[in-house]
Amino acid sequence: MPETDAIFERLAERNPAADADPTSLRMSVDAKARVALGCFSRGGRSRVPVPALDHDFRTAPTVTPLGVFLPALNETYLYFVQGPVTADALADVIERTGQQVAPRFPRVQTVLLNLDNGPENHSRRTQFMQRLTEFVDTYQLTVQLAYYPPYHSKYNPIERVWGVLEQHWNGSLLDSLGTVLALASTMTYRQLSPIVHHVQRTYAKGVKLTAKAMAALEARLERESDLEKYCVRIVPLSI
């Protein structure tokens, strides 16, 4: 499709340029599927036989991994959420990762976000765009949103991290949150282990702006004329 080709053309230009620019930092962000906590078989292999249940139960507690990968540095930051993964959850992990790495990158002026067009983080999701605009103004950083088109999430770099994590823990029983955090901490991707966090906040679902508030916010969003949903720039207001 012409639109898909245009998106990839933009990403092919901007991603390597951001990685090479000392004033830019690229983050690849996404959530993995929820993981049921319990003695469930996950289809992996172990060196010793491990008794497991042959199916999941609906009442099992779950945890959802959220990831931020920095392609230029091969650094991974994993956040594990036990409640709903909302726009606020995604915005929080972006901000928290930015705070962790900021002391090492005093020259950074722009953050390029590689994202999928998921329901909680697409560029029309009012709460997500509100939170990013607050981030921009608080830290005086420009944010450039660069979305992958539908059915192309495999090209988002964080997806490769999820593949390694799945292989790493598939032969184990993820029977508790502690086990999940410990196993995630011991995986390696490109010879580096991730920084792992347990997110203790429970996020409320359905938080959104009114139509009037979003109309005002929209004035802050610089959407590229031919790819309005996929390429969006937010510039800070001067202090």
Q: Give 221's strand partners.
A: 234
- H or E stretch including 175? none
* CA 15 – CA 20 distance, rounded (Å): 9
pLDDT digit string, tens, across residues 95-124: 999 999 999 999 999 999 999 989 999 999
123, two tokens: 């560029």
**pLDDT (0 to 100) of residue 48:** 45
Banded pLDDT at 239 (limits 50, 70, 90):
low
The residue behind tokens 């800070």 is 236
SS3 content of the chain, % helix, strand, coil (to 5): 35, 25, 40
Cα 123 to Cα 199, 202, 234: the distances in Å are: 24, 23, 11
Domains of the chain by start residue, with CATH = 2-234 (3.30.420.10)
* CA 23 – CA 13 distance, rounded (Å): 16
**pLDDT (0 to 100) of residue 161:** 97
Mean per-residue pLDDT, 63-71: 97
* pTM beyond cutoff 0.85: yes
Say whether pLDDT at 49 is over 50. Answer: no
pLDDT digit string, tens, across residues 159-195: 999 999 999 998 889 999 999 999 999 999 999 999 9
**pLDDT (0 to 100) of residue 45:** 54
CB atoms within 10 A of CB 232: 21
14, two tokens: 């901007």
182, two tokens: 């410990």
